[in-house]
Structure 1
Amino acid sequence: MTDKHSKETTHFGYKTVDRDDKQKLVAEVFQSVAGKYDLMNDLMSMGVHRLWKRFTIEMSAARPGQKILDIAGGTGDLTAKFAKIVGDQGQVVLADINDAMLEVGRDKLTDAGVCGNVDYVQANAEDLPFTDNTFDCITIAFGLRNVTDKDKALRSMNRVLKPGGRLLVLEFSRTDNQLLSKLYDAYSFTALPLMGKLIADDAESYRYLAESIRMHPDQDTLEQMMKSAGFVQTGYHNMTGGIVALHKGIKP
């Protein structure tokens, strides 16, 4: 039996923190890295993140006139692609819990002329501020691992999807290749913080990002979590040897 004064804890990278504090700590990370986010993505993945996102777009089966929600959409890579696909009769909502990331995304897409069918909403994935059965498709790319209560977030996504709508979760995952795993660990815990220091003047945030990947559920565990949240026809595609996986689920 827990003491009524004790607080629930969760992980922030490899650290154990009060559950109520994680959202603020994650916010501080992304406040810090927002300005260099796109540059660091290209450097960290050597540009491969663009291929992962392109596959996500293909798997979305997005069509003209649809409503799409891009959660943790950050600087808007997926939103920009979806906006072109759904056209003037469709709508894309770029949602992010972090106002600095949302501002960078808005400025970037506005400068690129992507504005007529895109809305920007500061929102927590655990409690999405949308009515039931609103969206044809939801994507969350490299954002779920930063959510405190992933099960609650997945249920929230299920609620706002239309029946037959699909959820796509693009996230770092686990590789079974031992050699690749060792190389990836060495890269993550040596090169990433160093790049963070040199490019963004912030080694600690990129150390957290590397640690958060290791604490994220593996492919089979996340698929089971999606099933528990009410999704059917679940499955995943491993990419780059399982370093990244794209999970799919349908709302019945």
Structure 2
Amino acid sequence: MKPVSIDKNQRRIREMFDGIAATYDFLNHFLSAGLDLWWRRSAARILAPAPRSRLLDVATGTGDLAFAALAREPSLHIIGVDLAPEMLKRAMAKAEARRIVDGRYRVLVGDALHLPCRDGSFDAVTIAYGIRNVPDMGAALQEFHRVLKSGGRLLILEFSLPTHPLFRCFYLFYFETVLPAVGRWISQDREAYEYLPASVGAFVSPDAMEAIVQRSGFRPESVTPLLGGVTYVLTARKP
């Protein structure tokens, strides 16, 4: 079998997510049994953004983390940045359906390595399941650091692998066999749903991520595993 490429060329990533945009939300919810929404709500709870603060949601996709944050604190002003225009179209359609039409959530096509934002302009930067897809994680973290105010917070929500051996075995079977098969059948995109488990398996551990964040100038606060370590929330602060 041909090995799965985890090349993170940004054109490839954009085209991949544009290609699955129409089925992205359905598959996220179906393949995780709705847990993806709980994970984002948990991240918003851990972040606990202050009223009227400004938040930058990088790799915003179809907006679910931003909407979880707004559900917790409706006075937020959030800008969502993503490479994939088709994903952003669906994010804005969801914002309109939720009657978030007063400028509290806006979107920009943009790259995590070159954020279209001024220095020190946000109280928080969040990224859900996107840091794994950037070609230069250190450069992305430097950009997050640049656009944050002093004292501002970074939140990373990302996949990892369960630590319990039996659960890990079951999870890997599902993640590497069942999920790609169902994903490519529904989305008609083989590449995207083979890339997902391959990219998670090749990615750094939560402990390594915490160390990388610290080397990028942040002060780590917490790493919170969810569902036995299937995913985790990392928070850090810009001194």
Determine if contact 2:4/2:194 at 8 Å carries over to the other structure. Answer: no
Deviation at 1:87, TM superposition (A): 4.1
2:74 equivalent to 1:94: no
Contact 1:80 1:114 in 2 (8 A): no
2:147 alignment partner in structure 1: 160
How many Å separate the matches in 2 of 1:136 and 1:220? 25
Q: 2:16 aligns with which of 29, 36, 46?
A: 29
Matches within 5 A, 1:66-77: 66-77=53-64
**2: CA distance, partners of 1:16 / 1:100:** 22
**Shift in Å at residue 210 of structure 1?**
1.2
In the alignment, the residues of structure 2 paired with residue 94 and residue 143 of structure 1 have an alpha-carbon distance, to the nearest angstrom, of 12
Whose Rg is larger? 1
Q: Residue 105 in 1 paired to residue 91 in 2?
A: yes
Contact residue 67 and residue 86 of structure 1 kept, 8 A:
no
Look up the match of 1:45: 32
Instruction: Identify which of 135, 139, 147 aligns with 2:122.
Output: 135
Are 1:119 and 2:106 matched, yes or no?
A: yes
Determine the C-alpha separation between the residues in 2 that align with 1:245 and 1:233: 14
1:227 paired to 2:217: no
Aligned to 1:4: none
After TM superposition, the runs of 4+ consecutive aligned structure 1 residues lying more than 6 A away are none
Q: Does 1:170 find its partner at 2:157? A: yes
Deviations 1:186-213 (A, max 9, x none): 1112111221133212233101111111
How many pairs were matched up?
A: 236
How far, CA to CA, are the matches of 2:73 and 2:225 in structure 1? 27
Cα shift readout 1:34-79 (whole Å, capped 9, x = no counterpart): 1111100111111111111111111112122110111111111122
Gaps in structure 1 of 5+ consecutive residues = 1-12
Distance 2:220 2:132 in 1: 22
Per the normalisation by structure 1, the TM-score is 0.88
Match of 1:241 in 2: 228
**Alignment partner of 1:58 is 2:45:** yes
Aligned equivalents of 1:25, 1:157: Cα separation in 2:
22
Q: Sequence identity of aligned pairs in percent? A: 32
| Residue matched to 1:15 | 5
More displaced 10-residue stretch of structure 1: 136-145 or 110-119: 110-119
